[in-house]
Amino acid sequence: MKTINYTKILFNDKLKDMYDEIHKNHINIIDKLSHLNLAKVANKQMRDIFDGYFDYKLEKCDYFALITGLVSDYEYYDKWDEVMNFFDDIKIEQQICDYEEDNNIQGDASGNIINSNCICSKQITKIFKLYRYGEVKLIIGSSCFKKHIIKFNYSHKLYKKYLKEDKKYTEYNKKIKELKDNFIFCNSCKKYKIPKNESWKSKCSKCFAKSNSINNKVCLIELF
């Protein structure tokens, strides 16, 4: 589906003045927009701030445009397309690491994958990071990138990189499914390392041996 919802907000000096004011009063929230663990809350806070500047209901496409403009070099731009070309790299947030060795999903304390929210407000698990000169600027979702950044313009400088990163999501999901199909989550090391046929365990063998070793040392100290 190639539906693109463009913002109706004008990119003009009035908008730039609003950006200047927000940078002056809310820089602490802006700084959090680039941090995965903080962006979910910061995105909502920033949308609420923008709501206070407009006397009509903002749509997802408006939020996306407003927040991308906010973190860009907006003072040098004259239109939204220039804002969307501000970003020079994109990477998917890897939800799994060292699969062969550690069986580790980089998620919450229960081993679930990370959930976040795009700057437009949509809940996302396919999480992308937008960069400028090697620095993360925003946390966004896949569909928003396609609608508002490349806009089905296959000659866009990030299009091929996006396809490459997007493909990783399928690979991650496959590995995560394999982990959860074959292993149980260890409550100690927070990794999927307990074989399914040992479902009575709450710790993997390595963590169990480590905890026993610590307990034995404590006992020896008490004896003397």
In a domain, 191, yes or no: no
Question: How do 192-195 and 183-185 pair as beta strands?
Answer: antiparallel
In a domain, 105, yes or no: no
141 pairs with which residues across the strands?
A: 127
Residues 112 and 103: their CA atoms lie apart, in Å, by 13
Tell me: the pLDDT tens digits for 87-106?
Answer: 999 998 876 665 455 666 65
In a domain, 208, yes or no: no
Q: Packing angle between helix 60-71 and helix 13-25, nearest 10 degrees?
A: 70
Q: What's the domain count of the chain?
A: 1
Burial of 91 (0-12, 13-18, 19+ CB in 10 A): middle
In a domain, 103, yes or no: no
Flag the least confident range among 145-149, 160-164, 191-195, 216-220: 216-220
In a domain, 62, yes or no: yes
Looking at every residue in the chain, the average pLDDT score rounds to 83
pTM of the complete model: 0.76
Domain around 79: 13-97+115-183
High-pLDDT (> 70) share of the chain, %: 80
In a domain, 198, yes or no: no
